[in-house]
Amino acid sequence: MALRPLDNALPTTPERPKKQVKVAVTIQKQSDLGVNDENKAPLPPPVDATIDYISSENLKALPDPETKIHGLVEGLESKDWTKVCESLNNARRFALYHSPLLLPILEKVLLVLVKAMKNPRSALIKTAIMASSDIFNAFGDSLLDSTTSDAFDHLLLQLLLKASQDKRFVCEEADRALKIMVGSMTPLPLVKKLRAYVSHSNPRIRAKAAISISHCVSKMGLEGMNEFGLVSLVQMAADVLNDRLPEAREAARSIVIKMYEVLTENEEQKQESWMSFCQSNLPPIHALSMVKIISSQ
Domain, as residue range, for 247: 197-297
Q: Collapse the DSSP code of 203 into the 3-class scheme (helix H, G, I; strand E, B; otherwise coil) and give the result.
A: helix
Which of 46-60, 69-83, 215-229 comes out lowest in average pLDDT? Answer: 46-60
Specify if 58 maps to a domain: yes
Q: Please indicate, yes or no, whether residues 159 and 203 belong to a single structural domain of this protein.
A: no
Q: Collapse the DSSP code of 272 into the 3-class scheme (helix H, G, I; strand E, B; otherwise coil) and give the result.
A: helix
Alpha-carbon distances, residue 104 vs 61, 146, 190 (angstroms): 19, 13, 23
pLDDT digits (tens, 9 = 90+) for 52-78: 899 999 999 999 999 999 999 999 999
How far is it, in rounded angstroms, from Cα 179 to Cα 133? 9
Q: Please indicate, yes or no, whether residues 80 and 153 belong to a single structural domain of this protein.
A: yes
Which pLDDT belongs to residue 243?
96
Specify if 26 maps to a domain: no
Say yes or no to pLDDT of 13 above 50: no
Q: Please indicate, yes or no, whether residues 88 and 174 belong to a single structural domain of this protein.
A: yes
How far is it, in rounded angstroms, from Cα 249 to Cα 241? 5
Q: Please indicate, yes or no, whether residues 175 and 260 belong to a single structural domain of this protein.
A: no
What mean pLDDT is reported for the chain? Answer: 87
CATH assignment at residue 83: 1.25.10.10
Q: Please indicate, yes or no, whether residues 212 and 117 belong to a single structural domain of this protein.
A: no
Cα–Cα nearest to 52, from 91, 73, 74, 82: 82
Q: Please indicate, yes or no, whether residues 212 and 142 belong to a single structural domain of this protein.
A: no
How far is it, in rounded angstroms, from Cα 85 to Cα 15? 74
Amino acid at 50: T
Q: Please indicate, yes or no, whether residues 105 and 213 belong to a single structural domain of this protein.
A: no
Say yes or no to pLDDT of 41 above 60: no
Cα–Cα nearest to 237, from 221, 264, 208, 259: 259
Q: Collapse the DSSP code of 243 into the 3-class scheme (helix H, G, I; strand E, B; otherwise coil) and give the result.
A: coil
How far is it, in rounded angstroms, from Cα 121 to Cα 242? 36
Specify if 215 maps to a domain: yes
Percentage of the chain modeled with pLDDT above 90: 79
Q: Please indicate, yes or no, whether residues 181 and 64 belong to a single structural domain of this protein.
A: yes
- 156, 185, 214: which is the final residue of a domain? 185
Which pLDDT belongs to residue 191?
97
Which pLDDT belongs to residue 297?
79
Percentage of the chain modeled with pLDDT above 70: 83
Count of domains in the chain?
2
Which pLDDT belongs to residue 275?
96
How far is it, in rounded angstroms, from Cα 207 to Cα 252? 10
Cα–Cα nearest to 138, from 195, 91, 181, 99: 99
CA 131 from chain centre, in angstroms, equals 14
Q: Please indicate, yes or no, whether residues 208 and 247 belong to a single structural domain of this protein.
A: yes
Specify if 94 maps to a domain: yes
Q: Is pLDDT larger for residue 41 or for residue 70?
A: 70
Q: Please indicate, yes or no, whether residues 166 and 208 belong to a single structural domain of this protein.
A: no
Which pLDDT belongs to residue 49?
56
Q: Is pLDDT larger for residue 28 or for residue 266?
A: 266
Specify if 71 maps to a domain: yes
Alpha-carbon distances, residue 10 vs 14, 15, 17 (angstroms): 12, 15, 21
How far is it, in rounded angstroms, from Cα 2 to Cα 245? 106
How far is it, in rounded angstroms, from Cα 112 to Cα 127? 12
Specify if 35 maps to a domain: no
Q: Please indicate, yes or no, whether residues 106 and 176 belong to a single structural domain of this protein.
A: yes
pLDDT band at residue 23 using 50, 70 and 90 as cut-offs:
very low
- 185, 213, 248: which is the final residue of a domain? 185
Specify if 29 maps to a domain: no
pLDDT digits (tens, 9 = 90+) for 178-207: 999 999 999 999 999 999 999 999 999 999
Specify if 3 maps to a domain: no
Which pLDDT belongs to residue 18?
47
Q: Please indicate, yes or no, whether residues 237 and 164 belong to a single structural domain of this protein.
A: no
* 217 contacts: CB under 8 Å, gap ≥ 6: 187, 191, 225, 233, 254, 255, 258, 259
Say yes or no to pLDDT of 274 above 60: yes
Cα–Cα nearest to 185, from 216, 231, 154: 216
- 126, 151, 185: which is the final residue of a domain? 185
